[in-house]
Amino acid sequence: MAAPESANLKNLSGQWVMNKKLSGEFDSILALQGIGWLTRSAISLATITLHLKQYNAEDGVEHVDIDQVLTGGIKGTAEHRVLNDEWRDHTDHIFGHVRARSRRTKLSSLKDDDEDEKFLKTDWTQDVIDGDEVIDGQVESQDNGWTARQSWGFEVIDGERRHCRHAIVHKGDEVKRVKLVYDYKGPLDG
């Protein structure tokens, strides 16, 4: 389902389902991150739903909490992003020990002559372009030697406005880039 007009980079709260038909191929990214074949196979068969809660904490700092749920209610990874550009350590059962930071980044600060940054800044809807920023997340694996970067926004895909993430993973000389597309399922339960 298309993202409602009320959904934007200041209001991502809701349930979002990965649209695997419209998303790029992401198995090779998981493989590059050291995720085993059995886990990748399970992920490829599952429906992945993100439960996003976006809010400002008492100190005014913006947060995006994400709980992934796979088909049958199986718990995926949990992400608690604080958009203040500070590195934080995190460990989960899929990606192991990582350190990550999140922030808002101006589209105008991303360079067209850098292949990664050009990928992070292209194809967004006019509201994202007019706001001149995306949510920008960076992750460094502490166990498996990869780094990742994502930008979040909205695109028109298959004629509908959808939440998208542009993801890039580097490990050694290898690089993988993919767009992940999410359909709006509805508001958070409860």
Is the model's pLDDT at 82 over the cut of 80?
yes
Average pLDDT score over residue span 132-161: 97
For residue 73, the model assigns a pLDDT of 78
For residue 177, the model assigns a pLDDT of 98
- Confidence category of residue 31, pLDDT binned at 50, 70, 90: very high
Q: Is the dihedral of CA 21, 76, 165, 139 positive or negative?
A: negative
- Residue 122: burial class (beta carbons within 10 Å; 0-12, 13-18, 19+): middle
Please report where in the chains the tokens 């991150």 appear, as a residue. 33
Average pLDDT score over residue span 152-166: 97
75-79, 83-87, 88-92 — which one is most confidently predicted on average? 83-87
For residue 111, the model assigns a pLDDT of 96
Give the whole-angstrom CA distance, residue 111 versus residue 174: 21
- Confidence category of residue 74, pLDDT binned at 50, 70, 90: confident
Mean residue pLDDT of the chain comes to 95
Domains and CATH numbers, the chain: 14-186 (2.40.128.20)
Give the whole-angstrom CA distance, residue 184 versus residue 163: 8
Is the model's pLDDT at 190 over the cut of 60?
no
- Confidence category of residue 141, pLDDT binned at 50, 70, 90: very high
**Tokens standing for residue 169:** 């993973």
Contact yes or no for 138/149 (Cβ under 8 A)? yes
Q: What is the pLDDT of residues 33-60, one digit of tens each?
A: 999 999 999 889 999 999 999 999 999 9
Average pLDDT score over residue span 136-146: 97
For residue 189, the model assigns a pLDDT of 81
**Tokens standing for residue 186:** 């509805």
